[in-house]
Structure 1
């Protein structure tokens, strides 16, 4: 009996050690996953500030908090469990879902690039009838739109996070997914909050009560922020194309091998290898986004004509 008791203690000790080793590995997995989703995180950070443009400055942080709260709830209660369940019951579905998300990122990236070189959207917007809404309704529309975009980006983040822990213990999978959800949400929306209030910080520091160096620094912040937001928008667009295309490329054996061969050929120059891969993916993402845009417009034209033909004439 005592020997059986000590054997049980040994089993418990081994289990505890295995769990501790698994827990020790969580920060490494979180860091690895964060690196993998860096492009999506950059895009999420670049996109979000536009949702508070034109709204009451006193409501900016409140709006960012509302978006962040919904984002975290979606990651923790919907997207993470969905990824874990898919991984258990239908692991084959993870890659196609990732690729569909990648295609969406390429399409959105192409649309942003196209809008930079085309004024058609502006002309179309001017021709539409202006609808008058209250500030509260505008705020709700912005939050709803931001959350919808965030759900797509968050789904990509959590799917990639799951792909990094496939085959590990279920406890490790859950901890990594939850840690990634919390860390990325806090990092993204904390930085977004800092961005949208940077102007106010600069104005505050530029007051006469501060040292001349501090005032100069404050004025510098105010002057720099518009340029920073523009640069951030460009970086976010590039990240969408790069990440979207890379996700799709890794889902197709042929293109995955091509990327691997490109990295291998430039292995002696890691920085150049990274740039070459990012550039190749960015160009590929732009081409794919163009193709998707044309397919959607063609489909809209065909089904639009059918719908118009089926409507009864009076």
Structure 2
């Protein structure tokens, strides 16, 4: 009996070591995958704050919480199982599905640009909704819909960094990436949108330095939120165009992706310092131009042509 107990304890120790090694492998894989998806994460952070414009301050954090739950639901219940299933049974379908999502991002961004140029602003649209419940539902639905596309890109990038792992370990690593990125992104978003409240709190402090900092935050936040709104739209064009460039290359239609890549390399080599930054900027500009073209074409088909017929 004691010998059996010792053997059982040995087996438990071995299993514990295997489990610890598996956790380390999953953590390392999730870390590599998360780093690769960092660019899209930044875009997601820039896009989201515009969905709380027009809401009362007391509803900002509850709205962000709802969007966070929607984002986790997108990643864990829809995208993760679909990505694993497609990678196992129909890997050829991942690229076209991502391209469809990228095209949608381009369309949504260009549509907002057209609305701004025509004088139909998002804030005016929000102001037209007098029912607070309807306004919140609209904002959450729009944010979660956009998040779905960005989350799909994040998960696809992460999945590409997990070759050779078992299905269970890939699922665990992707789940870890999904939770970590979602908490990180919407934690930063919550901090951004509540920064003016932090500023008001500091402005009431007895310290003169705290008051100056607080007032500076209060005055800066409207400008920052407006800038993030524009950055979010630009990020949607850039990410959508980048997805399309990668998709074209995957399908053997490499003329446009290669032209963008060569232009970025040439621009990088042409400057004495900051070559990596210049190369990235030119590549992002090329992706953005493609995104504007594709998004403009979709907007034209869905909006301009029907309006012309109506006239």
Would you call these one fold, judging by a TM-score over 0.5? yes
For 1:165 and 1:259, the matched residues in 2 are separated by 27
1:107 counterpart = 2:107 = yes
Aligned to 2:213: 217
Within a 5 Å distance, the mapping from 1:2-151 to structure 2 comes to 16=18, 19=22, 22-23=25-26, 25-35=28-38, 38=39, 40-119=40-119, 121=120, 132-133=130-131, 135-151=132-148
Q: What SS is found at the alignment partner of 1:180?
A: helix
Aligned to 2:6: none
For 2:167 and 2:305, the matched residues in 1 are separated by 43
CA contact (8 A) 1:203 1:222 kept: yes
RMSD: 3.0
For 1:54 and 1:181, the matched residues in 2 are separated by 29
User: What is the deviation of 1:131?
Assistant: 6.3
Aligned to 2:272: none
For 2:148 and 2:129, the matched residues in 1 are separated by 27
TM-score by length of 1: 0.79
Q: What SS is found at the alignment partner of 1:55?
A: coil
Q: What SS is found at the alignment partner of 1:165?
A: coil
Change (3 A) 1:136 1:24: closer
1:170 counterpart = 2:176 = no
Q: What SS is found at the alignment partner of 2:54?
A: coil
TM-score by length of 2: 0.79
For 1:299 and 1:61, the matched residues in 2 are separated by 40
5+ residue gaps, structure 1, are 1-8, 306-314
More deviation in 151-160 or 21-30? 21-30
5+ residue gaps, structure 2, are 1-10, 270-274
User: 1:175-219, CA deviations, whole angstroms, 9 ceiling, x for partnerless residues?
Assistant: 331122111111111111111211111011001x42001000000
Aligned to 1:274: 280
Counterpart of 1:235 (choices 207, 231, 234) is 231
User: What is the deviation of 1:300?
Assistant: 4.5
CA contact (8 A) 1:199 1:222 kept: yes
1:182 counterpart = 2:182 = no
4+ residue segments displaced more than 6 Å:
none
For 2:217 and 2:140, the matched residues in 1 are separated by 27
Count of equivalent residues: 283
CA contact (8 A) 1:23 1:172 kept: yes
More deviation in 98-107 or 25-34? 25-34
Change (3 A) 1:211 1:298: closer
Aligned to 2:8: none
User: What is the deviation of 1:27?
Assistant: 4.4
For 2:294 and 2:284, the matched residues in 1 are separated by 15
